[in-house]
Amino acid sequence: MVQFYSPNRRSVNPGIISVTADNLDAQGQGIARHQGKTIFIPGLLPGEQAQIQLTEEKRQFAKAKVVKRLSDSPFRVEPRCPHFKVCGGCQQQHVATELQAKTKAGVLEHLIQRETGVSISAEPIIHSPEYGYRRRARLGLQYQVKQRKLLLGFRQSQTNDLVDVKHCPVMHPELEKLLQPLSQCLNSLKAVKRLGHVELVLANNSPIVVLRHLDPIKHEDREALRIFSEQYKVAIYLAGDEKSLELLSFGALFPGSLSPEHLAEGQSEPWYQVGGLKLVFSPRDFIQVNDEVNQQMVAQALSWLDLQPEDRVLDLFCGMGNFTLPIATKVQAVVGVEGVAALVASGQYNARLNGLNNISFFHENLESDIHQQPWAAQGFNKVLLDPARAGAAGVMSHIVKLAPEKVVYVSCNPTTLARDSKVLLEAGYHLVSVRMLDMFPHTGHLESMALFCRERMTIE
């Protein structure tokens, strides 16, 4: 008889053990030690004692669940969301936000020190409102045949099932109040079984609903959606099959070229403000989820760059110009480089809209050979980059070649930030300042930004 052995998971002792958590990780899990092994325990806070049961054990660490909590931390708070512990969207509403942010800052500091050898504080933290901060959310739709009901909500933790969300306190109140009436509206549609998902977006001039549907929406359903739009003063957009859904993020949303179909007549294009400027965007364009942190982040980046009228600035992974346009108001010239054509088109439109004629946008793949790209031959004395989670490995050596005075790196992944930082440090740059951005309270997401200078200096 052949026996198979799996080295990935060890058998777990079913016995109950008592531990006291001494730390918290970025995901909100308590960290305890028992017999020399680190144990990660969801729901347990530093200083709390509990009886736990191991659920998974490996050579270096173990995971466990709380059987009985024996004490409470002063940082334990009552979650505001009725779906907490079921919904997979937020994991840390039981943790006071000041401990959440401080823990993430500590994780960032530890990672940078481990990877680069540089010890630096990630404070002061750029803080967010505790609740009501999300101006964008994507919700799944799932039709239950037996109950004859469409669920609207987020995935349950570690499953594909949806939580039928009635309230979501991390959403901006203008979006949260749409959840129940929108669910009722969608449940009334003839096409209720053939809907994909919904995106809610809050522009400065209107809430937006983007409805993904699998079959053409017929007249009766269109009228129901039109009535909903008028009643709740919401702009509704339809996204059809997979092809049109993909095109949605490429179609420039400007008067006369709306994509997808704009149901409510007389609506102006959606826009938001940053740095005193108006940025028009398509409902499917990427915009920062947390408006208040975005405003602080842009202001901090401009302050760190110490922009002067004679500066030439390079903005890599520039999107639709969230940083590019505010930078342009203070310098001689700025160049934005972005890999998504629709975002480049949005940036160009917004530059014209705001009367900024010192911006050049380039649509280029920053993962390919950038040395042959037209922007790469230009000179810049300051650089900002805001890459996706994969980081900016392909451009770091070129940034060094440009030899800018200052580099501001905005990151949504501390691991790739630490990796890319080493290229600058090895080239003689100094890591002058780091900030933790509390972009997504109650979640494990960690955003940050770092300032590198060619000359050693201090930031007050």
**What would the pLDDT profile of 386-404 be if each residue is shown by its tens digit?**
999 999 999 999 999 999 9
Residue 96, in any domain of the structure: no
Q: Give the domain range for residue 388.
A: 101-129+290-454
121: tokens are 């504080």
Based on the domain organization, do 301 and 445 belong to the same domain? Answer: yes
251 phi and psi angles, rounded to 5 deg: -75, 120
In this predicted structure, the answer to whether residue 266 has a pLDDT above a threshold of 90 is: no
The answer to whether 381 is a known ligand-binding residue is no
In this predicted structure, the answer to whether residue 265 has a pLDDT above a threshold of 50 is: no
> Which domain-ending residue is among 220, 250, 280?
250
pLDDT at 282: 86
Structural domains in the chain (count): 3
Based on the domain organization, do 48 and 156 belong to the same domain? Answer: no
> Which domain-ending residue is among 201, 231, 250?
250
Residue 357, in any domain of the structure: yes
Residue 318 a catalytic site member: no
In this predicted structure, the answer to whether residue 130 has a pLDDT above a threshold of 90 is: yes
Higher pLDDT, 266 or 19: 19
Based on the domain organization, do 198 and 140 belong to the same domain? Answer: yes
Higher pLDDT, 265 or 82: 82
Residue 460, in any domain of the structure: no
The answer to whether 322 is a known ligand-binding residue is yes
pLDDT in tens, 54-99: 999 988 899 999 999 999 999 999 999 999 989 988 989 999 999 9
Based on the domain organization, do 178 and 238 belong to the same domain? Answer: yes
Based on the domain organization, do 342 and 434 belong to the same domain? Answer: yes
The answer to whether 4 is a known ligand-binding residue is no
Give the CATH number of the domain where residue 64 resides.
Answer: 2.40.50.140
Neighbours of 296 (CB within 10 A): 17
Residue 243, in any domain of the structure: yes
Helix (H, G, I), strand (E, B) or coil at 187: helix
pLDDT at 13: 54
The answer to whether 386 is a known ligand-binding residue is yes
In this predicted structure, the answer to whether residue 28 has a pLDDT above a threshold of 60 is: yes
Higher pLDDT, 286 or 250: 286
Across the range 437-452, mean pLDDT stands at 96
Based on the domain organization, do 349 and 403 belong to the same domain? Answer: yes
Across the range 417-441, mean pLDDT stands at 97
pLDDT at 459: 57
Across the range 353-372, mean pLDDT stands at 95
- Percentage of residues of the chain with pLDDT beyond 90: 79
At residue 269 the predicted structure's pLDDT band, cuts being 50, 70 and 90, is: confident
256: tokens are 């006369």
DSSP 274-321: ETTEEEE--TTS---SBHHHHHHHHHHHHHHHT--TT-EEEEES-TTT
pLDDT at 159: 84
In this predicted structure, the answer to whether residue 261 has a pLDDT above a threshold of 70 is: no
Q: Do 87 and 153 contact (CB within 8 A), yes or no?
A: yes
Residue 149, in any domain of the structure: yes
Based on the domain organization, do 143 and 124 belong to the same domain? Answer: no
pLDDT at 1: 38
367 phi and psi angles, rounded to 5 deg: -95, -10
The answer to whether 90 is a known ligand-binding residue is yes
Q: Do 37 and 64 contact (CB within 8 A), yes or no?
A: no
Q: What share of the chain is helix, strand, coil (3-state, %, to 5)?
A: 25, 30, 45
Q: What is the rounded CA–CA span in Å between residue 334 and residue 356?
A: 10
At residue 253 the predicted structure's pLDDT band, cuts being 50, 70 and 90, is: very low
For all residues of the chain together, what is the average pLDDT? 89
In this predicted structure, the answer to whether residue 440 has a pLDDT above a threshold of 80 is: yes
Across the range 305-311, mean pLDDT stands at 98
In this predicted structure, the answer to whether residue 267 has a pLDDT above a threshold of 80 is: no
Based on the domain organization, do 370 and 300 belong to the same domain? Answer: yes
In this predicted structure, the answer to whether residue 181 has a pLDDT above a threshold of 80 is: yes
Across the range 157-166, mean pLDDT stands at 88
Residue 22, in any domain of the structure: yes
> Which domain-ending residue is among 61, 76, 91?
76
The answer to whether 317 is a known ligand-binding residue is yes
Give the CATH number of the domain where residue 115 resides.
Answer: 3.40.50.150
DSSP letter at 214 equals S
Based on the domain organization, do 124 and 144 belong to the same domain? Answer: no
Residue 262, in any domain of the structure: no
Based on the domain organization, do 222 and 298 belong to the same domain? Answer: no
Residue 268, in any domain of the structure: no
- Percentage of residues of the chain with pLDDT beyond 70: 90
In this predicted structure, the answer to whether residue 407 has a pLDDT above a threshold of 90 is: yes
Give the CATH number of the domain where residue 198 resides.
Answer: 2.40.50.1070
Q: Which of 19-28, 133-142, 180-189, 404-413 has the weakest average pLDDT?
A: 19-28
- Which of 185, 318, 412, 453 is an active site residue? 412
Based on the domain organization, do 56 and 170 belong to the same domain? Answer: no
Q: Do 442 and 99 contact (CB within 8 A), yes or no?
A: no
Based on the domain organization, do 337 and 434 belong to the same domain? Answer: yes
